[in-house]
């Protein structure tokens, strides 16, 4: 058992496999989730569990958070009954959620008042890479804090990049998710256009994937398009959130507005809980 005591708050589709990898690497792990049922897989594997964020903070040296949005993250970090109500000087808090760069800088400032270090470390990759420990980790931090965290980050991902000060990780994440959105919508539009002109989706996807236009995300989503079935590896509602974050961070490129409009409309059409590739169903009907 390694000596650092690690805490984890937020056990959703991404947080659970990531926390399991920390446990498998030999770290002492304690978890907290508001829905206690979501702790069961971790506790069955050997993790401890606590009943409050304050208790989690008082028990651990390093705490990871993986939450759905800015509001949830700020709530978990708050000074009244959140993590910052129980931290000790010298601790390290690492947020792996996708939030606005400004939110990451706000959290760092709040941590600094408690003499606690902070890293924003969102990830590029979805559920399967999380399970395999093959995420790409995009970190914004003081260099010494990043170096302290890197052995654990290396458990979670195949690559951990120090991109600059706090906020840089979040900036990189909204940028890469903008490209993700473009790829997904372009794939959907191309397949539908080909079908309108008598080319099967099977043939069109073969042309894409065997040629220079193929890429990792298109190959990953090809089986879902062929089966017309979209279980949420990355729910469509989250790409809407991330495109809005990019807009708030200053993205004004020609494709950004129609891209956000399309995904917003697809979510409003009832597709928000399906994988973002389900945008093809919306485009087919409109």
Q: What is the mean pLDDT of residues 118-129?
A: 96
Asked if residue 90 has pLDDT above 80, the reply is: yes
- pLDDT tens column, 234-286: 999 999 999 999 999 999 999 999 999 999 999 999 999 999 999 999 999 99
Span 49-69, pLDDT tens digits = 999 999 999 999 999 999 999
Kindly report, residue by residue over 142-162, the tens digit of the pLDDT. Answer: 999 999 999 999 999 999 999
CA gap 40, 237 in Å, rounded: 26
Residue 175: which pLDDT band, with cuts at 50, 70 and 90? Answer: very high
Ordered structural domains, the chain, with CATH: 2-166 (3.40.50.720), 171-285 (1.10.1040.10)
Are 29 and 43 in contact by the 8 Å Cβ rule? The answer is: no
C-beta atoms surrounding 38 within 10 Å: 15
Share of the chain above pLDDT 90, in %: 99
Please tell me whether the overall predicted TM-score, pTM, comes out greater than 0.75 for this model: yes
pLDDT at 1 over 80: no
Mean pLDDT of the chain: 97
What per-residue confidence (pLDDT) applies to 3? 87
pLDDT band at 2 (very low <50, low <70, confident <90, very high): confident
Active site residue ranges? 173
């Amino acid at each position: 058992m390694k000596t650092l005591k690690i805490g984890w708050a937020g056990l959703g589709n991404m947080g659970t496999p990531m926390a399991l990898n920390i446990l498998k690497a030999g770290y002492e792990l304690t978890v907290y989730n508001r829905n206690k049922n979501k702790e069961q897989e971790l506790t069955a594997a050997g993790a401890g569990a606590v009943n409050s964020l304050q208790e989690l903070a008082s028990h651990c040296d390093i705490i990871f958070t993986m939450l759905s949005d800015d509001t949830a993250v700020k709530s978990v970090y708050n000074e009244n009954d959140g993590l910052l109500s129980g931290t000790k000087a010298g601790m390290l808090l690492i947020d792996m959620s996708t939030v606005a760069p400004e939110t990451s800088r706000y959290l760092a400032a709040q941590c600094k008042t408690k003499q606690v270090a902070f890293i924003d470390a969102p990830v590029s990759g979805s559920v399967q890479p999380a399970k395999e420990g093959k995420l790409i980790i995009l970190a914004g931090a003081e260099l010494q804090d990043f170096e302290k965290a890197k052995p654990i980050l290396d458990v979670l991902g195949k690559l951990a990049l120090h991109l600059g000060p706090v906020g840089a990780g979040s900036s990189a994440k909204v940028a890469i998710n903008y490209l993700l959105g473009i790829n997904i919508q372009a794939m959907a539009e191309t397949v539908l256009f080909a079908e309108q002109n008598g080319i099967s989706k099977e043939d069109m996807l073969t042309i894409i994937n065997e040629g220079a236009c193929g890429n990792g995300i298109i190959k990953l989503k090809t089986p879902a398009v062929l089966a017309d079935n979209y279980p949420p590896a990355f729910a469509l509602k989250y790409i809407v959130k991330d495109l809005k974050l990019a807009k708030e961070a200053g993205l004004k490129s020609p494709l950004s507005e129609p891209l956000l409009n399309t995904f917003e409309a697809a979510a409003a059409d009832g597709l928000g809980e399906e994988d973002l590739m389900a945008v093809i169903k919306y485009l087919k009907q409109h």
